[in-house]
A and B are shown apart, each in its own frame.
Chain A
Amino acid sequence: GAVVSQHPSWVICKSGTSVKIECRSLDFQATTMFWYRQFPKQSLMLMATSNEGSKATYEQGVEKDKFLINHASLTLSTLTVTSAHPEDSSFYICSAIDKSETYGYTFGSGTRLTVV
C-alpha cells in the first residue's frame, strides 16, 4: 500500500524561530497533499491543501504567511511554521492521495511540535 513519510516526528524549538516539516510520498506520486493540525483529544483540522506546482489553498482562519506550504515536486510537500509561538505547539499531520488506488488517502505519522 501507499506510504507517506513525515519528518521530523517531533521537534522542540524556541519561540520566534521557524520549523520545517517534510511530507513525502514514498512509492507513489501525489499531486495533492493535505496538512492537518490536531490538538490533544481533538479531531483533525484541515489547514491547507497543497497542490504540486501551484499555491496552496488555505482553510478559513489559517494564516498563510505563518504556515508556509511548498509542494515543489510530486513526492514532497513542506510546511514551515514561521516565527513559532507556544500556541503553535500541536500535532501536525500530512496526508497524500495515491490516485492509482480506489481510495488512496494515506496519512503520515505526524510531527509533534513544541514551542518553548
Chain B
Amino acid sequence: QKEVEQDPGPLSVPEGAIVSLNCTYSNSAFQYFMWYRQYSRKGPELLMYTYSSGNKEDGRFTAQVDKSSKYISLFIRDSQPSDSATYLCAMARNNAGKSTFGDGTTLTVKP
C-alpha cells in the first residue's frame, strides 16, 4: 500500500464549477501537507501548504486537512480554463525533509 493515495482522475469540469481534489495517507507522522500544480513539461508549483490539521484559504483555493481521518482536500472555486493542470498532493514529516507525493489528478476545465 502506498503511503499517499490520490484520487486518480482525470477530472473534467465546466468553467465556474467547484472542484474537489482529495488524498488519503497512512503515515501519522506527516505534519506538512502540500498541494502542487504542474503544467505539462514544467516543474511543480507550490499552491498551498498546511501545517497539521485545519483549513487554509487563498483566493479561490481552499486546503483542508483532517489528521484524524488522514484525509486532505483541495477545493477550487469558480474554476477557470487556466486551472487545467495536474494537481499533486504531497506530505512531509517536517519542513526540511523529503516529501512523499500522490500520483496526481489531471484536471481539465472546459470553457
Contacts and interface: CB of A to CB of B under 8 A. Distances in A.
A81 interface: no
Given A34-B98, A97-B96, A42 B103 contact: yes
B42 A43 contact: no
Nearest to B86: A41
A54 interface: no
B43 A107 contact: yes
A46 interface: yes
Interface string B82-102: 000000100010011011011
A102 B106 CA distance: 28
B46 A43 contact: no
Q: Is the interface of A mostly helix, strand, loop or mixed?
A: strand
B104 A43 contact: yes
Contact of B41 (A32, A42, A91, A104): A91
Contacts of A34: 98
Given A42-B103, A103-B34, A6 B88 contact: no
B16 interface: no
B45 interface: yes
Nearest to A108: B43
A41 B104 CA distance: 8
A109 interface: yes
Contacts of A104: 95
Interface of A: 4, 6, 32, 34, 41-44, 46, 49, 91, 93, 95, 97, 99, 102-110, 112
